[in-house]
Structure 1
Amino acid sequence: MSGPIRLTAEDPAAYLGGDDIVQTGHPAVRALAAELRAAHPDDGEFARAAFEWVRDRIQHSVDVQDPRVTLTASEVLSAGVGLCYAQAHLLAAVTRAGGVPAGLCYQRLGGDGEPFLHGLVAVHLDGGWHRQDPRGNQPGHYAEFRLDREQIAYPIAPGSADQDLPEVHIRPAPSVVTALRGAYDALDLCRSGLPSVP
């Protein structure tokens, strides 16, 4: 396993706002954040609860073979399904709505084959950024909320052609937004080619 990635990010305060995809102001997103925050007043425990809620309750499209395409936080929350990017959009929105800075980051996976982006979230806690992977667990891929060390679904092995991309984005990557907005079937998008650059 490789060592921790050095993330590059702006001022954490910049990662508290919302937009038309990371919808921190949407009533359903705010209601979920308020519910989780009421039960978890500590920032770290709230961020953990938000992570576990998304990881465990939002199904990954491929895992459940659901072709619906979701993009915005409210779409993901309503449908209960999405690709990794969409899951990350919801997690970032809920975490920000609860007052904890959260950004979007990516890995480039695919080994020596066709590369594609995998979406993650980074939260700012304990004075630093910590990547979390809400993709959902499956055999061989186990993600947990951790601040002491990363436990993401796809750790990059030394010498691998895969890459951890260090930037923590305030807004979703344009290539991800374009791909999801132009897709009619999430499963077909996975077969035909996911975005490979942010």
Structure 2
Amino acid sequence: MTHRLGLTGSIGMGKSTTARMFRDEGIPVWDADATVHTLYAKGGAAVAPIGQVFPDAIVDDAVSREVLKELIARDASVMSKLEKIVHPLVAQSRQAFLAKSDVPLVVFDIPLLFETNADAWLDSVLVVTAPAEVQKERVLSRPGMTETQFQTILDRQLPDSDKRARADHIIETLTLDDTRDAVRKLIAKLKRQSDARDRT
């Protein structure tokens, strides 16, 4: 039976790097952000339905994230309308990924995992974390990032302490070597548990 591991963490905590480490170990990873990008791109499944509700958001036959941000800033109800269109399409992508993954372990990389109650359908959740000062330093080193933008993003996310309290597994991402070692140990542990369940 496939173990469905959720991977999440606040901005700057090393989630994308950790997801890449799982891929490097041969573990299939479904990426929520990448899925939305595909849905929004030219030819993507979200373009037509979003265009019907928000025609201004379609630029060059693709969904413009910048226009959507402007629409949401002007009218908070836009977000819920957008989610009603996008969430079912994301769920379809997730189910298709799981259906073709006949392996002991798969990872679901979901930035807003707890915020969207994704933990309800996962077998366990891994939260990646780092000290607040390390997080801030990482995020503010990104091109174009400001303290105001950083705070706005944090305000949308569940606090790191709350995520850690709800996690089944926690990895601190201070160094690449230590993070990779922790990822490998967790993979081995979850595969052993999956094998044990299959034998019972």
Structure-1-length-normalised TM-score: 0.27
Higher relative contact order (CA 8 A, sep 6+): 2
TM-score (norm. length: structure 2): 0.27
